[in-house]
């Protein structure tokens, strides 16, 4: 049975192949992937990432952007591997959302 990523032969629009500057969100997800997956002794393998991205429903898969799929896979894998619980992840997200912005004072010469 084809997974949600198997879209060959389905109608689709044009593909935007232009390069773009990564958003802060995309840069953060990319950094997580580099730290957990693309290192000498990875904590998570590329194959595990692919497997996890292919386990979502077709509707979920199509509703997520590229880096959202990566983040969803990382989240599911760190839970599956017992590295973090869903509650711990939610606590970290809440802490990030509620912390004050960094002090952006510019030093004067």
What domains, with CATH codes, occur in the chain? 24-97 (1.10.472.20)
Q: Which residue has the higher pLDDT, 78 or 103?
A: 78
Q: Which residue has the higher pLDDT, 44 or 16?
A: 44
The per-residue b/e assignment along 87-100, b for 16 or more CB within 10 angstroms, e otherwise, is eeeeeeeeeeeeee
pLDDT range class, residue 19, cuts 50, 70, 90: confident
Alpha carbons 105 and 72: distance in angstroms, whole number: 35
pLDDT range class, residue 47, cuts 50, 70, 90: very high
- What does the block give as tokens for 91? 């606590």
pLDDT in the model for residue 76: 96
């Amino acid at each position: 049975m084809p997974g949600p990523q198997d879209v060959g032969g389905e109608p689709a629009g044009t593909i935007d192949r232009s390069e773009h500057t990564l958003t802060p969100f995309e840069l953060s997800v990319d950094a997580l992937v580099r730290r957990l997956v693309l290192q000498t002794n990875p904590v998570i393998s590329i194959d595990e990432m692919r497997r996890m991205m292919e386990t979502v429903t077709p509707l979920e898969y199509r509703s997520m952007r590229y880096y959202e799929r990566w983040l969803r896979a990382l989240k599911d894998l760190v839970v599956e591997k017992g590295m973090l619980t869903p509650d711990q992840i939610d606590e970290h997200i809440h802490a990030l959302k509620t912390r004050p912005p960094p002090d952006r004072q510019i030093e004067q010469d």
